[in-house]
Amino acid sequence: PSNYHPDKQQSTPSHDSAAVRIRPGQPRLKAPQVGKRLRLCSECGYTTFFHTNMENHQRVHTGERPYECDKCNKTFKQKSGLAKHTRTHTGEKPFWCHLCLTHFTQRSSLKRHMITHGGGERSSDSVFTYSTT
């Protein structure tokens, strides 16, 4: 309730806690910014506060693949997928193993490779660290 406008009821969003868990097992959502509204996919229950995330998600259901590689015509649902794929044509390998200097086009390939060096633990900044003992 507002002290300045006692005649107006203060609205409190249903997602006013620090984080919201819509369904059991669903990742927690960060606290929304003021004015953001929770968007819900009517097909599967996916939730997000961001319109662009919902647009990208809807492609899971529609099958739309609007991003096309100009080299081989392969299509992608998200711009990031096309960007990753483009490296296969350019030869760019921005991710590298600091132990054996092998280079990779995708971070996921580097992570999988690091297992060959004995596992390792991920630090909070997503860099692999290893113990020599």
Task: Determine, yes or no, domain membership for 20.
Answer: no
**Parent domain of 113:** 93-133
Task: Determine, yes or no, domain membership for 16.
Answer: no
Both structure tokens of 86: 């483009």
Task: Determine, yes or no, domain membership for 8.
Answer: no
Task: Determine, yes or no, domain membership for 101.
Answer: yes
Task: Determine, yes or no, domain membership for 65.
Answer: no
List the chain residues with pLDDT less than 70. Answer: 1-35, 119-133
Specify the pLDDT at position 31. 59
Number of domains in the chain: 1
Specify the pLDDT at position 94. 93
The answer to whether the CB of 120 falls within 8 A of the CB of 131 is: no
Exposure string for 56-94, b = 16+ CB within 10 A, e = fewer: bbeeeeeeeeebeeeeeeeebbeeeebeebbeeeeeeee
pTM beyond 0.75: the answer is no
